[in-house]
Structure 1
Amino acid sequence: MTSRHNERLMARRQALREQHKRELEEAKRRQAAQLAVITDFDQRIARLEAAELDVAKAVAKAVDVFGGRKEAAEALGLTAAQVRDYMSRSADDDADQDAEHDSGRDANPDETARTEAPEAHPQPAENEPSSLPAGY
C-alpha cells in the first residue's frame, strides 16, 4: 500500500512540475511577444517623429521660397495655424541642434568624463586594510 501511495504522489508531483513548466514557457512567450510589440511601436513612433520633423523643415523652406507664411499656407493647402506649428517645430529643432553643437565644441568629452566622473570601483590604497579575508 505504501508503494502505491508513493507512486501516486510521485506521479502527481511530476504532473504538477510539467504543468508549472508549461505555464512558465507560456508566460515567457507572452512576455517576448509583448516586448516585440512595444519595440515595434517605439520604432514606428521614432520614424513618425522624424517624418514630422522633415515636413516641418519643408514647410519652413516653403515659407522662405514663397516669401511668407500666408503665401506658403495657400500654396501648400495648409491653414495659418498649421504653418505656424510647423515653423515652431522647425525652429525648436534648429535650436536643439545649435545647443548640441555648442556643447560639443566647449570640451573634449573624453577629458570631461575623466575629470568629472568618479571611479565606479575605487581601488584601496596600498596601506589600506581590505575588508576581504586574506587570500582574496
Structure 2
Amino acid sequence: MTTTRTAPRRRSRPRAPTTEWGHELYCYGHLIQAAVARARTAGHDQLADVAIRDAAVLRGHAVRAVYLASGAVDVAVETGDDELLDAVARQWRNTVARRTYLTGGFGSRHQDEAFGDDFVLPPDRAYSETCAGSAR
C-alpha cells in the first residue's frame, strides 16, 4: 500500500498523482543509489561493460534494451570506444534481422514486454512495443 492510500487525507489531491509509476520510480531510485555507492567504493565497474559487449542481440524488456543500447552508443561516442560502438552496432543489426517485425515492431512477448527468441515473431499476438520504437 502506498501512503496516498493509507495516510489520512490532508490535501485535496493525492501526494503522488501517478501512483501507477510510483513503484517503478521507487525501484529506480534504489538502483541509482546502489550504482552511485558501488562506483564510489569500487571505482569503474566493468560488469555492465561485459554484459553489453558480449551480447549477440538486444534482449529482455524491449524498451529498456533499446534505451540501454542508445546509452551505450552515447558512451562509446563520447569516450571514443570503437569496440563498444561495434558491439552495439552488431547487436542492432542482429536484432533488426532476427527479432523485429516487418512493421518495425519490437518485442514479441506480452509477458515482460520483451524480445522473444530469434525468428519467433507470432503474428497473432505481437506485442510490438511502441515505446521501444520511440527509443530508436
Normalised TM-score (structure 1)? 0.30
- Give the structure, 1 or 2, with the largest relative contact order (CA under 8 Å, sep 6 or more): 2
Normalised TM-score (structure 2)? 0.30
